[in-house]
Amino acid sequence: MNVRRSNPHRRVRLGSLAAAAGLLLALQAVPSTAAAQQRNPTQAITDTVADHASRHYAFERFDVHSADGQRTWRVHVAAPRGTAPAEGWPAFWMLDGNAALVEFDDALLAELAAQPVPHALVFVGYPNDLRIDSEARTRDYTPFAGERPVRSGGTITGGGGADALLEVIERQIRPEIARRVATDPNRQTLWGHSLAGLFALHTLYTRSGAFDTYAAGSPSLWWGDGALLGAPEQRFITHNAGHPARVLIGLGEGERTRDVGHRDLNDPRVQVHLRRIEAAPPDSAEKLAQRLAAVDGLQVEYREFPALTHGPMFRASLMWALHAITGVADHSDTPSHADGVDPNR
């Protein structure tokens, strides 16, 4: 297993709710600064690379609907310009497709298109202008029900729709992509961050062969009181021996040390979240990578990103996965376009 760490000196970890409460008291004098550093959950996207003609990729989009008509997903697919190989283009799938689109610019598209065998790009998102649709992703990316915080500081039970989304991907999205773009069924990568990283691991555990590479950035292993670390993992390890797959797991150093200096600890929703993440120890992602690396057939890489907390890991893990899978340069240490950089520069 490939483990990268550039800072071996660990800061003190926030290991309990009591520690979180103490830190809350310490930071009460500067809540406005902490709040300003947090991402806006209602942040909207405007123009993306999908809205502009590119010399490197041809973009299309389509919507798919659940059988009951109550849920809709918007998919953007981008095919490299030129003639596809006989076996089709390899495909790089991204969950939270709205937010992923923001992280691409024309320079990155040019770099992707210049690879010996470029990848088709698939962005699975929602038909709205939200960068992150928190309610929809909680429903779709979680394999079982769990606690979801509300702004009052309490929780409601939600989630559990991962298998339903997997059915949509297999029965609706994948066939529609195949109709529009020639893709290689043996070279398919699924990337996701946070709850979507949890979804990527659940897909690995339950849909053998659906993808050949699974990239999980900052997977929310604490969801459902850490349930994915129990029976689902054990079933997979018991029955997967010999089935090949590549697995990338990334984590920010600030996540491992439970750095909360960037959060507004007066926010009841943040307080609930800090309680929830205690369901998985801070080293859960690395320990999971070690266990999976021992499974015959799996090629596992774990990478820890110095100083990064959960939010910035969205771009970092996506850029790392693109680098590892497609061969482009590693742009994981570059600023997010969601922070105001023009993606069409």
Whether 14 is in a domain gets the answer: yes
Least Cα distance to 194 among 68, 112, 89, 316 occurs for 316
CATH of the domain at 167: 3.40.50.1820
pLDDT at 13: 30
Rounded percentage of the chain residues whose pLDDT exceeds 70: 80
Output the six-digit token pair for 231.
Answer: 């029976």
More confident residue, 286 or 148: 286
pLDDT at 147: 74
pLDDT at 43: 86
Residue 205 and residue 251: Cα distance in Å, rounded?
20
Whether 344 is in a domain gets the answer: no
- Annotated catalytic residue: which of 56, 193, 310, 337? 310
pLDDT at 310: 92
The pLDDT of residue 297 is above 90: yes
Task: Give 261's pLDDT tier (boundaries 50, 70, 90).
Answer: low
| Among 167-181, 269-283, 304-318, the least confident range | 269-283
For residues 190-202, average pLDDT: 98
Alpha-carbon separation of residue 314 from 61, 118, 140 (angstroms): 23, 23, 18
∠ CA(32), CA(310), CA(112), 5° rounding?
A: 125
Residue 345 and residue 338: Cα distance in Å, rounded?
14
- Is residue 32 flagged as an active site residue? no
What is the dihedral angle through the alpha carbons of 27, 31, 34, 38, rounded to the nearest 10 degrees? 130
pLDDT at 19: 37
The pLDDT of residue 10 is above 50: no
Whether 316 is in a domain gets the answer: yes
Surface-to-core class of residue 31, CB atoms within 10 Å of its CB (0-12 exposed, 13-18 middle, 19+ buried): middle
The pLDDT of residue 153 is above 80: no
The pLDDT of residue 66 is above 50: yes
Whether 128 is in a domain gets the answer: yes
Residue 196 and residue 133: Cα distance in Å, rounded?
12
pLDDT at 264: 74
Task: Give 40's pLDDT tier (boundaries 50, 70, 90).
Answer: low
pLDDT at 22: 37
Task: Give 36's pLDDT tier (boundaries 50, 70, 90).
Answer: very low
For residues 311-331, average pLDDT: 97
Whether 157 is in a domain gets the answer: yes
> What are φ and ψ of residue 344, in 5° steps?
-105, 20
- Annotated catalytic residue: which of 103, 194, 218, 284? 194
Whether 96 is in a domain gets the answer: yes
- Is residue 194 flagged as an active site residue? yes
pLDDT at 20: 39
- Is residue 255 flagged as an active site residue? yes
User: pTM of this prediction?
Assistant: 0.86
pLDDT at 208: 83
pLDDT at 123: 98
For residues 132-154, average pLDDT: 84
Return the H-helix or E-strand segment holding 317: helix 313-326
pLDDT at 58: 98
Number of structural domains in the chain: 1
Task: Give 322's pLDDT tier (boundaries 50, 70, 90).
Answer: very high
pLDDT at 2: 53
Strands 72-80 and 120-125: antiparallel
List the domain range (segments joined by +) for residue 111.
2-339
Whether 76 is in a domain gets the answer: yes
Whether 345 is in a domain gets the answer: no
Residue 99 and residue 45: Cα distance in Å, rounded?
8
For residues 145-171, average pLDDT: 83
Output the six-digit token pair for 309.
Answer: 């907390």
